[in-house]
């Protein structure tokens, strides 16, 4: 898929949650522009709304006000979204009954296409993340770091323009987290894929081309 000059544009996002009789303003006008091939990190204190922001950017949730566009489009069909966007979560979200190869191929299944080319790409990606010999293993047969590497391969399966990563090392020990971040950044660089990385880790954030901080509902 051809990568546009700007892969993501979010303008003036607002999001409020209700807890009992309290209204909690999590986002109060957050805006973000991400260029093609750019890597951006977002840090912030716990509870400031980093994951909420990422869910809005992924269109997994909708803002009360503001807009999110991918390459200028506000609404893309599910099949197009599966090509445009890859996601990596803290909790992996692998399907437990499927082996590593089948989990990577789920991304291709979402766009309705699994043939020899897709099978070959999934195997190549597993080789790239160091799991070529473990492609037939189920998630419960893999370590946390290995599961996250499967998730990275799945995120890249459809050659997306953008990857959104939400605390991808949050469930990993320090050494394994370093390996995963290095792999994520290397793969994004090699494929010219844009990255928005939400992380609490200062060192990981500093490795991105641009570092932002979410505070009082605003990005800066």
What's the average model confidence in pLDDT over 99-121? 91
Going from N- to C-terminal start, the domains of the chain cover 6-219
What's the average model confidence in pLDDT over 128-155? 96
Tokens of 188: 């994004």
- Flag whether pLDDT at 78 surpasses 80: no
- Flag whether pLDDT at 179 surpasses 90: yes
In the structure, what pLDDT confidence band is assigned to residue 75 with cuts at 50, 70 and 90? confident
Please state, for a pLDDT cut of 90, what percent of the chain lies above it.
77
As a 3-state breakdown, the chain gives helix, strand, coil percent values, each rounded to 5, of 35, 30, 35
Tell me, what's the pLDDT at 73? Answer: 73
What's the average model confidence in pLDDT over 1-10? 74
What's the average model confidence in pLDDT over 109-130? 91
What's the average model confidence in pLDDT over 173-197? 95
Tell me, what's the pLDDT at 2? Answer: 53
Q: Tell me the per-residue pLDDT of 80-101, one tens digit each, with 9 for 90 and over.
A: 877 889 999 999 999 999 999 9
pTM of the model: 0.92
Tell me, what's the pLDDT at 77? Answer: 74
Q: Tell me the per-residue pLDDT of 18-27, one tens digit each, with 9 for 90 and over.
A: 888 888 899 9
CB 105 within 8 A of CB 52: no
Distances (CA, A) of 153 to 44, 57, 135, 145: 27, 21, 11, 13
pLDDT averaged over every residue in the chain = 92
In the structure, what pLDDT confidence band is assigned to residue 48 with cuts at 50, 70 and 90? confident
Tell me, what's the pLDDT at 113? Answer: 77
Tell me, what's the pLDDT at 105? Answer: 96
What's the average model confidence in pLDDT over 155-176? 94
Three-state DSSP state, 132: helix
CATH class of 6-219: alpha beta
Tell me, what's the pLDDT at 23? Answer: 87
Q: How far apart are CA 220 and CA 215, in angstroms?
A: 8
Please state, for a pLDDT cut of 70, what percent of the chain lies above it.
98
CB 176 within 8 A of CB 145: yes
H or E element that contains 198 = strand 194-198
Q: How far apart are CA 100 and CA 134, in angstroms?
A: 7
Q: How far apart are CA 52 and CA 34, in angstroms?
A: 18
- Flag whether pLDDT at 142 surpasses 80: yes
């Amino acid at each position: 898929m051809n990568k546009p000059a700007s892969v993501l544009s979010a303008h003036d996002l607002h999001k409020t949650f209700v807890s009992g009789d309290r209204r909690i303003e999590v986002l109060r006008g957050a805006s973000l522009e991400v260029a093609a091939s750019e890597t951006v990190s977002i840090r912030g204190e716990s509870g400031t709304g980093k994951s909420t922001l990422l869910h809005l950017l992924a269109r997994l949730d909708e803002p009360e006000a503001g807009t999110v566009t991918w390459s200028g489009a506000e609404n893309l069909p599910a099949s197009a979204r599966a090509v445009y966007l890859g996601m990596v979560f803290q909790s992996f979200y692998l399907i437990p009954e499927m082996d590593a190869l089948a989990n990577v191929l789920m991304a291709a299944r979402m766009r309705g296409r699994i043939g020899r080319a897709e099978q070959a790409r999934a195997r190549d990606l597993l080789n790239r993340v160091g799991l070529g010999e473990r492609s037939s293993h189920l998630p419960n047969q893999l370590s946390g770091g290995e599961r996250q590497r499967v998730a990275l391969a799945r995120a890249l399966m459809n050659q997306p323009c953008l990857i959104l990563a939400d605390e991808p090392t949050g469930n990993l020990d320090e050494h394994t987290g370093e390996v995963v971040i290095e792999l994520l950044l290397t793969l994004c660089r090699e494929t010219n894929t844009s990255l928005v990385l939400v992380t609490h880790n200062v060192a990981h954030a500093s490795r991105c081309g641009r570092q932002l901080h979410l505070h009082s509902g605003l990005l800066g």
